[in-house]
Amino acid sequence: MSRSFTSLDDEDFNRLFREFRYTAYRLETLQRYDVSYEQDEFARFLAGESRGEFPGIATWCDTVRTAVSAGKRMHRVHIVTEPLSDYVRFECGWAYEHTVEAGEDVRLIVVSGDDWPTGLPHYDYWLFDSSELVAMHYDEDGRFVSGELISEPERIVQANHWRDAAVSSSVPYPQYASQPQLSSP
């Protein structure tokens, strides 16, 4: 049985970030996410403005710092295609730079065009403590549609396998960020 939610502010979803004991892992597969808390900042990025206050990322960085200071690990792998979309360049420079500084282990798998890493899904999810799986569903434009708390053991085991494969195939964000493709538009 699973439970779904349609808001990123859902209390059951957010409880997972407060109550996980060891690890929180995210696989990101989209090249654009359209979330309300980033819209103003993304528009400023596209306009070539400098990064100012970014409340959505500041809140996330607080979440990361709290977890890391408690001895927990927060990490993610984002599969990105080159050439990078404007959104991924924004995410790298205006979000990842700061979440890494807060203690999140952000990693990238870089592919070209329509290539995709063998054995990895086009499927976003969160995995908490290797045992609580949340499938993240988005529409074609990257807008969040729903999240689904998954309880089927075989799907949780598969998500662990994907996590291990993605982490072993990825490069740390700081290593990737030292390359020239991340400059502003």
pLDDT tens track for 69-108: 999 999 999 999 999 999 999 999 899 999 999 999 999 9
Lowest-confidence pick of 62-66, 73-77, 178-182: 178-182
Beta strand pairing call for 124-128 and 132-138:
antiparallel
Sign of CA dihedral 59, 93, 90, 112: negative
Q: Which CATH superfamily is domain 3-182 in?
A: Endonuclease Chain A (3.30.870.10)
Strands (E), 29-143: 73-82, 105-112, 124-128, 132-138
Which amino acid would we find at residue 2?
A: S
CB 95 within 8 A of CB 125: no
Specify whether the backbone of 103 is left (phi greater than 0), alpha (psi in -120 to 50) or beta. Answer: left
Using CA atoms, how far apart are residues 18 and 42, in angstroms rounded to an integer?
A: 27
Mean pLDDT, residues 45-56 taken together: 84
Indicate if the pLDDT at residue 184 is higher than 70: no
What confidence category does residue 50 fall into, taking pLDDT thresholds of 50, 70 and 90?
confident
Indicate if the pLDDT at residue 156 is higher than 60: yes
Indicate if the pLDDT at residue 157 is higher than 80: yes
Angle (CA) 56 163 18, round 5°: 40
Give alpha helix (H) positions in the chain.
11-19, 39-46, 55-69, 86-90, 97-102, 153-169, 173-177
What confidence category does residue 2 fall into, taking pLDDT thresholds of 50, 70 and 90?
low
83 cis-preceded (ω within 30 degrees of 0): yes
Indicate if the pLDDT at residue 4 is higher than 80: yes
